[in-house]
Amino acid sequence: MRQAKSLFPGKTGKDESPFQLIIEQDIPLSDTSLSTVFYVKLNNYCFPDSQWTDLTYDVLMMWVAEIVRGQSVLTKRTLYFMDGPYRIEITKPSNTEVSLHFLRHDIILHEGTCTCEHILSGILAGLNTFQGIVKCESASHPALDSVVRDMDRSIAQIQGVLQRITSQDDS
C-alpha cells in the first residue's frame, strides 16, 4: 500500500492548507526515471487526478523557474505538467488572494482561490517531500546526488520568494 505524503503532514481540519501538493513514491526512482504519483489538491479537488504519474523532478524545476522569474510575484503564472495537456493558471486579482484555473488544453476543469502563501508553502513542502524521497534512493543511485543539490537550491529560492511576500504583507 502506498503512503501519500502531504505537504502539510499532521495538519487536519481547519488548519490544513487549501493548496496541497501530493507526492507518492509510486515506483522506485533511478537516475533515469524520476516519476512519482504527483498532483495538486485544492480543497478536495485533485488535479490532474489522484493517480496522476509524472516526471516530478522536471515539473518541480519548471514550477520553481516560473515562480521566481520576473519582478512581480505570482501576478500571472502558468504551471505545466510534463505528461498530458494539463496546466494551472494563477492570477492575482487582489492583494490577498490568487485565482487558480485548472485546465486541460484550453478547457477549465476547475477553479478556486487561495493565498500566495498557500501556494508557495505547498510547493516548498512538495520540494522537501521529493528531496526526502530522492535522498533515500541516492544511496543506491549516486547520480541522484545532483538532484538533491538542485532541490536544495530550489528550496532556498522558494523560501526567498515566500519571505519577500510575507514581508510585503507585514508592511
- Which phi and psi angles does 112 have, rounded to 5°? -170, 180
Q: List pLDDT tens digits, range 39-51.
A: 999 999 999 999 9
pLDDT of amino acid 73: 56
Mean pLDDT by groups of 10 residues along the chain of 171 residues: 35 63 79 84 95 93 89 76 93 84 97 93 94 86 88 95 79 54
d(CA 6, CA 1): 16
H/E run at residue 20:
strand 19-24
Q: Where are the alpha helices (DSSP H) in the chain?
A: 56-68, 116-138, 145-170
Q: Which DSSP category does 37 fall into?
A: E
Residue entry with cell 524521497: 133
The residue ranges of every structural domain in the chain are 13-170
